[in-house]
Chain A
Amino acid sequence: MLKIKDLRVSYGKLKVLKGVNLEIKEGECLGVIGESGTGKTTLALSIMRLVDEDSSASLEGEIFFQEKNLMEMDEEMIRKIRWNSISIVFQNKEDALNPVHTILDQVKEPIMENGGESKKEATEKAIHLLSQVGLASRCIKAYPHQLSEGEKQRSLLAMALANDPEVLILDEPVSSLDTTSKADMITKIKRLSRGYSVLVVTHDISTVAKLTDRVAVLYGGRIVELASTPLLLSNPRHPYTRGLLRSYPNMTTTKDLQGMKGRMQPVEKGCPFYPRCTQVVDVCKRKNPELQKIGERFLACHRGGILPFLKVKNLTKYFDSFRAVDSVCLTLYEGETLGLVGESGAGKTTLAKSIMGLFHSEGEIYLEGEKVGERDKKFYKTVQMIFQNPRESLSHRLNVLEAVREPLDIYKIGSFRQRSQKVEQTLTEVELPSDEEFLDRYPHHLSGGEIQRVVIARALVLDPKLLIADEPTSFLDASIQAKIVRLLLNLQEKRGLGLLFITHDIALARKVSDRLVVMLKGKIVEEGPTPQILSSPSHPYTRNLLRVAPTLT
């Protein structure tokens, strides 16, 4: 129905859209999601050819509507397309409705202008439309300021439908509404937009979830991911999409809200997301990735989306004849938390130690796609582990400085001074003091929380990308535990740190994990996105875990 090809829009020097390709098929509802400043509204206005109004704007590319290129049309032709074929519901902020004309007049206006209907017919049609969107009859002849936000938004919807367009664009159709009117409005839109080809432009993920069939994610003027709505929302593959979902408060996900590092900034060349991405490689800074079809979705990422960072295949560990870990397969993606849940004796720690190469085991391990044989220094620089009992994992002979510096000493990284600096920097990162006095302390001078932080600092000092945390908080009081968990999540947000979070406590795992793996007697019995496992566990053991999990009632 509507095909956008390589659309580029810039205002003066500011490039807003940098080559957008999109297609809205007949009768489908396509969502475009993105934060403010990503160019969503510009995209909507470009289709209506309304950005040209700004004298500094320049438009390139093609927009085909029913095989006709809108970009080649003159003002008079485009005027006939507007509202008759493509109409738009603007976000109702700052007077989207003219304050000096009545609602009826404004809805009637396009019908009379374009349709050639008589005044009486136009009035009848307008009233019909307004009652269809559920506007009370007292509102029909009212002025905009006499209506509530919800009523205004509904009038805008009625107005957009006035000339039976083929394509309906909705720009933030519910953002100005409170939650209840929002739900009502979404139902109305859903019912009334049936049969139209709809483009919904919004920053609100739940609107997209409820309205659209497919959804495109816009960042820095480019589409970075495009897939069917349920797929994209349950399993985002672009780091930006994942970050967006993580930061969106909702009733589905249980992990704590997380942001993304840095802020949106214009990028001259390369991938628009690279300054904020935690898995950047050289090519990301040089070349913009094209939107490519990968499986069921389209994705623009040089690395093929979020990397499967660690892959474990058929890992088996025998203690004599006892199979402590039984052909375990799991994948941990870049920057995500994989919660490994199970009762004591399920083989969680054995699995962790096997991955770390501390136990000899059978099976294969892949790190960033490469098969790992002997664990060498390169491996340990990338993967670090914090052990279950932190106090034991620190030598009582080493003070804080020496303990944290140890990995650097081992790897002979930098000069003595540089190492000390790195230690201080890392201590600050884990929110510990880095003064002389503290550096000089020995483990028995430290509290439980401090020790855990020192251990984390020691694990981080080599800047690993993956941290295996084996019951990192089981020795801590609840209030300290909360802080340590928060710290780990912050590090994840900042560094893209992957976490294999091992715990027996599913309530804790629920707050930190993107995905969950449930382990029983050396085997993995269930694996999936956290909300899905929590809401519909398939294995009886998982169900039992959830039943006995701590609650406050």
Chain B
Amino acid sequence: MNLKRKITNYGIAFLIILSLNFLLPRLMPGTPLTAIYGEEVLVQMTPEFKASLIKRFALDEPLYKQFIFYIFSLFRGDLGYSYYQSGSVFQIILAHLPWTFLLVGFSLILSTIGGIILGIESGWRRGKITDKAILTGMMTLSGFPSFFMGIMLLLFFAVNLGLFPLQGARTPYADIYGIWLVLDVVKHFILPLAALVLVEVSGCYLLTRNTMIMTLRKSFILTAKAKGLPDKKVRYRHAGRNSLLPVVTRTGIKLGTAVTGALFIEIIFSYPGVGNLIYSSLLMRDYPVLQGTLLMVAIFVLAANFFVDLIYKKLDPRVQNAY
């Protein structure tokens, strides 16, 4: 029942994105071709090329046929054609995706683990000086928008101190291999990652701390203490484990916003991920790439959320009966 409802939700969400993607350019004034590619590009296109595009996306057909065509081409992995980068949108996105995965994945893992540990320790020491210090620090951190955090790290560590490269994911045209290549990538990776982790960690921390405080009031904590378990086991095995559930849900939901958060960081560090792709296509008004990216990100987020739903069942035995 619950699972069915979830799938319906994902279905509806997917449909909304698809329709928006399809409708937005076609609702703009002018021919769809103008809307999809923009005035500037059309001027440069040859009539034959235009005709081939119209044929490829069935732009001379009525709207519903266009939609059917659109869906079919999506299933073929055809997300459109980028005139600027003269290539398939799908291929372009695919080339950028790994960098974003790297950034989002690592930052999510680090910020979640960091947030959970800090949250558990802070909640456990509630009201003590350590807790107050961590809480205040985290609250302050939560005020920094990702792009400002990125800029500050960039200005301080890269520009002023010169410790890290200014931009990119690796040194361009450098002829390096093996371990040196890895080191080079890591060097480029640290600042964007740090910025993202700093921005993300406070949310996870606050949630963990709150649930921790509530969990600590439960009777089973008293049972655990009465059993003579050492503090650490009470804190992690009993209190922490129970505080984990909402955090995991949140991390799932966060997957979507993490891509967004990474977007600004990628722009600032010119990190060649999907976010940067969005930005550069925005600057060039490369709308097909923009749309394709949105679709890919949406699918990715939906999949991630679904995955979290599955994990959740493993973590909380009570949920199993709900299905």
Measured CB to CB, the residues of A under 8 A from B are 45, 48, 50, 53, 55, 79-84, 87-88, 90-91, 93-102, 109-110, 113-114, 143, 145-146, 156, 159
Stretch at the interface among B62-70, B227-235, B283-291: B227-235
Within the assembled complex, what's the spacing in Å between the Cα atoms of A98 and B239? Answer: 9
Within the assembled complex, what's the spacing in Å between the Cα atoms of A136 and B224? Answer: 24
On whether the beta carbons of A110 and B227 are closer than 8 Å, the reply is yes
For the complex formed, measure the closest distance between the CB of B87 and the CB atoms of chain A, giving whole angstroms.
Answer: 50
> Looking at A98, A156, A159, which has the most chain B CB atoms within 10 Å of its CB?
A98
Residues of A within 8 A of B226 (CB): 48, 50, 82-83, 87-88, 90
> Looking at B220, B315, B316, which has the most chain A CB atoms within 10 Å of its CB?
B220
For the complex formed, measure the closest distance between the CB of B202 and the CB atoms of chain A, giving whole angstroms.
Answer: 26
Residues of B within 8 A of A97 (CB): 220, 223
Within the assembled complex, what's the spacing in Å between the Cα atoms of A393 and B132? Answer: 77
On whether the beta carbons of A109 and B321 are closer than 8 Å, the reply is no
Give which listed residue, A94, A109, A113, A143, contacts B219 with CB less than 8 A.
A94
> Looking at A84, A87, A91, A99, which has the most chain B CB atoms within 10 Å of its CB?
A99
For the complex formed, measure the closest distance between the CB of B312 and the CB atoms of chain A, giving whole angstroms.
Answer: 12
On whether the beta carbons of A100 and B316 are closer than 8 Å, the reply is yes
For the complex formed, measure the closest distance between the CB of B247 and the CB atoms of chain A, giving whole angstroms.
Answer: 13
On whether the beta carbons of B242 and A84 are closer than 8 Å, the reply is no
For the complex formed, measure the closest distance between the CB of B215 and the CB atoms of chain A, giving whole angstroms.
Answer: 9
Give which listed residue, A53, A84, A99, A110, contacts B317 with CB less than 8 A.
A99
Q: Number of B residues whose C-beta is below 8 Å from A?
A: 23
Interface flag for B187 (CB, 8 Å): no
Q: Given A50-B222, A98-B220, does the pair A145, B317 have CB atoms closer than 8 Å?
A: yes
Residues of B within 8 A of A83 (CB): 226-228
Interface digits, B295-323 against A, CB 8 Å rule (1 contact, 0 not)? 00000000000000000000111100100
Residues of A within 8 A of B238 (CB): 98
Within the assembled complex, what's the spacing in Å between the Cα atoms of A48 and B227? Answer: 10
Which B residues, 192 to 238, have Cβ-Cβ distances below 8 Å to chain A? 218-220, 222-230, 233, 237-238
6 residue pairs, one from A and one from B, having the closest CB atoms: A82-B228, A143-B317, A110-B227, A98-B220, A96-B219, A83-B228
Interface flag for B127 (CB, 8 Å): yes
Interface flag for B241 (CB, 8 Å): yes
Residues of B within 8 A of A93 (CB): 219
Within the assembled complex, what's the spacing in Å between the Cα atoms of A48 and B316? Answer: 30
Interface digits, B123-146 against A, CB 8 Å rule (1 contact, 0 not)? 000010000000000000000000
Within the assembled complex, what's the spacing in Å between the Cα atoms of A80 and B26? Answer: 74
Could you write out 29 A-B pairs with CB less than 8 Å apart?
A48-B226, A50-B222, A79-B230, A80-B228, A82-B225, A82-B226, A82-B227, A82-B228, A83-B226, A84-B228, A90-B219, A90-B222, A94-B218, A95-B219, A96-B219, A96-B220, A97-B220, A98-B242, A99-B220, A99-B316, A100-B315, A110-B227, A110-B228, A110-B229, A113-B227, A113-B233, A143-B318, A146-B321, A156-B223
**Quick one: closest B residue to A142, CB to CB?**
B317
Residues of A within 8 A of B229 (CB): 79, 109-110, 113
Residues of A within 8 A of B127 (CB): 55
Within the assembled complex, what's the spacing in Å between the Cα atoms of A545 and B283? Answer: 106
On whether the beta carbons of A99 and B318 are closer than 8 Å, the reply is yes
Within the assembled complex, what's the spacing in Å between the Cα atoms of A88 and B230? Answer: 17
On whether the beta carbons of B227 and A109 are closer than 8 Å, the reply is yes
For the complex formed, measure the closest distance between the CB of A138 and the CB atoms of chain B, giving whole angstroms.
Answer: 15
> Looking at B220, B222, B228, B321, which has the most chain A CB atoms within 10 Å of its CB?
B228
Within the assembled complex, what's the spacing in Å between the Cα atoms of A79 and B234? Answer: 12
Within the assembled complex, what's the spacing in Å between the Cα atoms of A21 and B228? Answer: 25
14 more CB-based (< 8 A) A-B contacts, given A79-B229, A98-B238: A45-B222, A48-B226, A53-B225, A79-B228, A82-B225, A90-B219, A93-B219, A94-B218, A95-B219, A96-B222, A97-B223, A99-B316, A99-B317, A110-B228
Within the assembled complex, what's the spacing in Å between the Cα atoms of A498 and B169? Answer: 93
On whether the beta carbons of B223 and A99 are closer than 8 Å, the reply is no
For the complex formed, measure the closest distance between the CB of A307 and the CB atoms of chain B, giving whole angstroms.
Answer: 42
For the complex formed, measure the closest distance between the CB of A196 and the CB atoms of chain B, giving whole angstroms.
Answer: 16
**Quick one: closest A residue to B316, CB to CB?**
A100
Give which listed residue, A50, A53, A80, A95, contacts B218 with CB less than 8 A.
A95
Within the assembled complex, what's the spacing in Å between the Cα atoms of A103 and B227? Answer: 14
For the complex formed, measure the closest distance between the CB of A262 and the CB atoms of chain B, giving whole angstroms.
Answer: 31
Q: Given A99-B317, A145-B321, does the pair A81, B220 have CB atoms closer than 8 Å?
A: no
For the complex formed, measure the closest distance between the CB of B243 and the CB atoms of chain A, giving whole angstroms.
Answer: 10
Q: Given A98-B238, A98-B242, does the pair A50, B220 have CB atoms closer than 8 Å?
A: no
Within the assembled complex, what's the spacing in Å between the Cα atoms of A90 and B242? Answer: 19
Residues of A within 8 A of B317 (CB): 99-100, 102, 143, 145
Residues of A within 8 A of B228 (CB): 79-84, 110, 113-114
Interface digits, B222-266 against A, CB 8 Å rule (1 contact, 0 not)? 111111111001000110011000000000000000000000000
Residues of B within 8 A of A90 (CB): 219, 222-223, 226
Within the assembled complex, what's the spacing in Å between the Cα atoms of A53 and B317? Answer: 29
Residues of B within 8 A of A99 (CB): 220, 242, 316-318
**Quick one: closest B residue to A109, CB to CB?**
B227
Within the assembled complex, what's the spacing in Å between the Cα atoms of A90 and B223? Answer: 7
Residues of B within 8 A of A91 (CB): 219
**Quick one: closest A residue to B127, CB to CB?**
A55
Within the assembled complex, what's the spacing in Å between the Cα atoms of A50 and B228? Answer: 10
**Quick one: closest B residue to A114, CB to CB?**
B228
For the complex formed, measure the closest distance between the CB of A108 and the CB atoms of chain B, giving whole angstroms.
Answer: 11
**Quick one: closest B residue to A162, CB to CB?**
B227
Residues of A within 8 A of B237 (CB): 101
Residues of A within 8 A of B218 (CB): 94-95
Residues of A within 8 A of B223 (CB): 90, 96-98, 156, 159
For the complex formed, measure the closest distance between the CB of A51 and the CB atoms of chain B, giving whole angstroms.
Answer: 10
Residues of A within 8 A of B227 (CB): 82-83, 87, 109-110, 113, 159
For the complex formed, measure the closest distance between the CB of B194 and the CB atoms of chain A, giving whole angstroms.
Answer: 33
For the complex formed, measure the closest distance between the CB of A50 and the CB atoms of chain B, giving whole angstroms.
Answer: 6
> Looking at B224, B227, B233, B318, which has the most chain A CB atoms within 10 Å of its CB?
B227
Within the assembled complex, what's the spacing in Å between the Cα atoms of A113 and B232? Answer: 12
For the complex formed, measure the closest distance between the CB of A9 and the CB atoms of chain B, giving whole angstroms.
Answer: 15
Within the assembled complex, what's the spacing in Å between the Cα atoms of A110 and B238? Answer: 13
Within the assembled complex, what's the spacing in Å between the Cα atoms of A96 and B219? Answer: 5
Residues of A within 8 A of B230 (CB): 79, 113
Within the assembled complex, what's the spacing in Å between the Cα atoms of A114 and B241? Answer: 21
Within the assembled complex, what's the spacing in Å between the Cα atoms of A93 and B315? Answer: 22
Within the assembled complex, what's the spacing in Å between the Cα atoms of A99 and B233? Answer: 16
For the complex formed, measure the closest distance between the CB of A237 and the CB atoms of chain B, giving whole angstroms.
Answer: 35
Residues of B within 8 A of A96 (CB): 219-220, 222-223
For the complex formed, measure the closest distance between the CB of A379 and the CB atoms of chain B, giving whole angstroms.
Answer: 57
On whether the beta carbons of A145 and B225 are closer than 8 Å, the reply is no
Within the assembled complex, what's the spacing in Å between the Cα atoms of A90 and B316? Answer: 23
For the complex formed, measure the closest distance between the CB of B230 and the CB atoms of chain A, giving whole angstroms.
Answer: 7
Within the assembled complex, what's the spacing in Å between the Cα atoms of A156 and B224? Answer: 12
